[in-house]
Structure 1
Amino acid sequence: MNALRELSRLLLPVACPCGLPDVPWCAACAAVLAGPPVRVEDAAPRLDRLDGVAPLPVWAQARYAGPVRDVVVHWKDRGRADLDGLLGRAIRRTAAASAAALPGGRLLVVPVPSSGAARRSRGREPVRVLAREVAAGLRSAGADARPVALLHRPGRARDQVGLGTRARGRNLAAAVRVTRRGRGLLDPASRAVRGGVPGRPGAPGRASGAPVQCLLVDDVLTTGATLAAAERVLEQAGAAVLGAIVLAATPPPGRASREGRTR
């Protein structure tokens, strides 16, 4: 096995996103994803609903800067699916730690969908990996959670990378949609016909007309435009969106500039 491992390294060299050779990730990069999660919604201006309602609670594992940014970029856009384990464990810890702040009851863990172009380029939707790990982390803390892909992005909406705050909002305003399956799962009348909660026909513990509870999952929180669009369409479909969990959040502009001067 050692000989095969060495041969594979020669044929397909592996390196940590920081550049350290011969390891998929190094101890230093793993360490920046090992801290406690933090609430980050106040740094996302597009999550402010401007109607007196508090913004959607968002938990993040780390700041989207330095080694964390390098790891996430390699994972999403450079084919590094081998980083699923590192990032999956990180967001699972975030989910387990945040479970106590969520109300009881069944919970659907909803990944934010990628654009069609991004999905074709990457060959998969990495956020779905995160949603599975979030559901597992919540279950480890005693919650009744399961991942369900309720959203999609039809049409030719651009990927969000490189867009500013206003452009992100315009790009997503009509781009995020509830899937046909999602409409059936979330519609109170449809659930009443089936007699219970999605996936649990006749299950006790929740009135069939009560809103289905959802928790959003994404990789990076920037302006909050993506989560705001997802929250809006899920609520319009009859769901109760309780919050969101992300891998990382961009630092506020003031903090980012200060960190840049100190490095």
Structure 2
Amino acid sequence: MRALLVAACRDLVGLVVPVACAGCGWRDVTWCPTCAQTLCGAAVRRDHGAGRLDLLDGRTLLPVWAPAVFVGPVRHAVSAWKDGGRSDLDRPFTAATRRTGAAVAAHLPDATRAGHLPVLVVAVPSTAAARRRRGRAPVDVLAAAVTAGLRDGGVPAVRAGALRRSAGPDLAGLGARARGAALGGRVRAHRAARLRGRRVVLVDDVLTTGATLAACHAALTAAGASVLGGVALAATPAPSGRSPLGSSVRSSARGPGHAEDE
């Protein structure tokens, strides 16, 4: 009976406010099974494709894991989630980042396990204007899921609002160098004295050039913290057009409304 009632309510809401998959536009579902598969991949290192994290000697500033590539349905859905009010995507997005957090736990030093201070999970900060416009800070939702995932993997972890970001230009559409310049001096540690000696995992929604994570890394290390790595929901394709594992990152048209990202 309860299932029938829930289904009836969903149908009624669909008549008043039409629902469509945020990834492909398929009607009457918020996130269709085909698009859902784009977030089911393994947690993969994506930092090698982010120019601002490249140390130019074969190393990167910090390892960053993400389960998806920011193309096609994922790109459409993340944009709708961040700026289109699609908080109904919280559930699939947090499920993906929680799984990633659990996978990342296996790569963290043994010192992060029981008997030591918990790892601090720090979301990349939004500006106050962005929070007002969106009504929330979406990355905070992902950070809570990563925290749960690290705990699933045996790493004690707690959320920490350790960073603040002052107003500045919109980063959308800017290249790596321009993003770095736009963020210069705008990310700072909050209550820096409490960060000294602590281990941190950063969380972002999308890894692009790595400029934001690099700015966060600088602020945290200046406060005496050690940044172990980062987690993102998705990452833009590497410059070669191929993922770090060598598989194609171009999306395929596998269902209603699916199209390759251009």
Question: What TM-score do the two structures reach when normalised by structure 2?
Answer: 0.85
Q: Is the 8 A contact 1:117 1:159 kept in 2?
A: no
Structure 1 residue 98, shift from structure 2 partner = 1.3
* 1:87 paired to 2:96: no
Q: How many residues align?
A: 236
> What is the RMSD computed on CA atoms of the aligned residues?
1.9
Q: Are positions 1:231 and 2:217 aligned together? A: yes
AA matched with 1:120 = R
- 1:23 partnered with 2:45: no
Give the whole-Å Cα distance in 2 for the aligned partners of 1:147 and 1:140.
15
1:183 has 2:192 as partner: yes
Alpha carbons 2:237, 2:249 under 8 Å: kept: no
Question: For 1:253, what is the secondary structure of its paired residue?
Answer: coil
Q: Distance in 1 between matches of 2:90 and 2:49?
A: 27
Query: Residue 45 of structure 1: CA displacement?
Result: 1.0
2:174 corresponds to 1:163: yes
**Structure with more relative contact order (C-alpha pairs < 8 Å, separation 6 or more):** 2
Aligned match for 2:226, one of 240, 245, 248: 240
Q: Secondary structure in 2 aligned to 1:217?
A: strand
Which runs of 5 or more structure 1 residues have no equivalent in the other structure?
A: 188-210
- Conserved 8 A contact 1:111-1:216: yes
Q: Shift of residue 49 of structure 1? A: 3.8
- C-alpha displacement of 1:48: 2.2
Determine helix, strand or coil for the equivalent of 2:203: strand
Structure 2 counterpart of 1:6, one-letter code = D
Query: How much does 1:116 deviate?
Result: 2.5
- TM-score between the two structures when normalised by the length of structure 1: 0.84
Give the 5 Å matches for 1:45-56.
Answer: 45-49=51-55, 54-56=60-62
Report the alpha carbon displacement of residue 50 of structure 1 after superposing the two structures with TM.
5.2
CA contact (8 A) 1:115 1:158 kept: no
- Indicate whether 1:97 and 2:103 are aligned: yes
How far, CA to CA, are the matches of 1:152 and 1:51 in structure 2? 31
1:33 equivalent in alignment to 2:33: no
Q: Deviations over 1:142-182 (max 9, x none)?
A: 1101111101112x212321211111001111111112xx3
* Rounded Cα–Cα distance in structure 2 between residues aligned with 1:261 and 1:7: 33
Q: What residue in structure 2 maps to residue 249 of structure 1?
A: 235
Q: Distance in 1 between matches of 2:96 and 2:20?
A: 20
Residue 59, structure 1, aligned to residue 71, structure 2: no
Distance 1:5 1:225 in 2: 41
Change beyond 3 A, Cα 1:238–1:82: same
Amino acid at match of 1:5: R
Code of the aligned partner of 1:14: V
What residue is the counterpart of 1:218 in the other structure?
204
In structure 2, the residue corresponding to 1:101 is in which secondary structure? coil
Residues 260/29 of structure 1: CA separation in 2 closer, same or farther (3 Å cut): closer
